[in-house]
Amino acid sequence: MSKKQKKIVIILSVLCAAFILFDVVLYFSLNSRQLNNGSSENNDGTGLSIVSYTENGEWMEVETSYGKFHYPFAFSDIIKIEAVNKGVSAQLRFSAKIEDKIIDAYTIYFNEPKGVPCGILKMSEEIPVTVEFENAPKKLDDDWLITFNAVQETFNDVLISMSENNDFEISD
């Protein structure tokens, strides 16, 4: 092999290694976004599931099998969302990551008579949507209590953005 051919092989090898490294970093960063922000207990295409998270300027947009909503991007590292299916009902659980702990902040219920009514989701039938807020743990210091309360206030953004979907109507 000539010197020129050896250089080409070395350059191609380095480019290949760089491409593989880029793919690995991209794969883990995308998967860590999914792991950090939430999960879905139902990935079989039925019921409620979280489809994707997308940063859109100042918002973190979340697409679910029931529609889209958003909350402030500033909370993207603090909020964890989990989709849970229980028979004919479903839940979106919003939690706050505080002091290395996951603390439930509020839950949006679909077709489950818990909490305060907040709207109707119109799918093949009308599904009542309610919300229930958790009490802050008594052991939180003032700074973390402010964070916890701010996470609970993201419900307003979630509800308003849900109402932008044609299939959701806010209760009076």
Cα 162-127-70 angle, rounded to 5 deg = 15
Count of domains observed in the chain: 1
Tell me if 146 is assigned to some domain: yes
Tell me if 108 is assigned to some domain: yes
Rounded to an integer, the average pLDDT of 23-33 is 39
Tell me if 17 is assigned to some domain: no
Task: Say what the pTM is.
Answer: 0.73
Domain that holds residue 130: 38-170
* β pairing state of 38-40 and 79-86: parallel
Supply the pLDDT for residue 74. Answer: 94
In this structure, of 14-28, 112-126, 152-166, the range with the lowest mean pLDDT score is: 14-28
Tell me if 148 is assigned to some domain: yes
- Helices vs. strands in the chain: H and E counts, helices first: 2, 10
Supply the pLDDT for residue 12. Answer: 54
51 phi and psi angles, rounded to 5 deg: -90, -45
Supply the pLDDT for residue 18. Answer: 44
Tell me if 156 is assigned to some domain: yes
Tell me if 111 is assigned to some domain: yes
The residues pairing with 120 across neighbouring beta strands, listed in sequence order, are 128, 169
The Cα 17–Cα 131 span in angstroms is 50
Tell me if 3 is assigned to some domain: no
Tell me if 74 is assigned to some domain: yes
The whole-chain average pLDDT of the chain stands at: 81
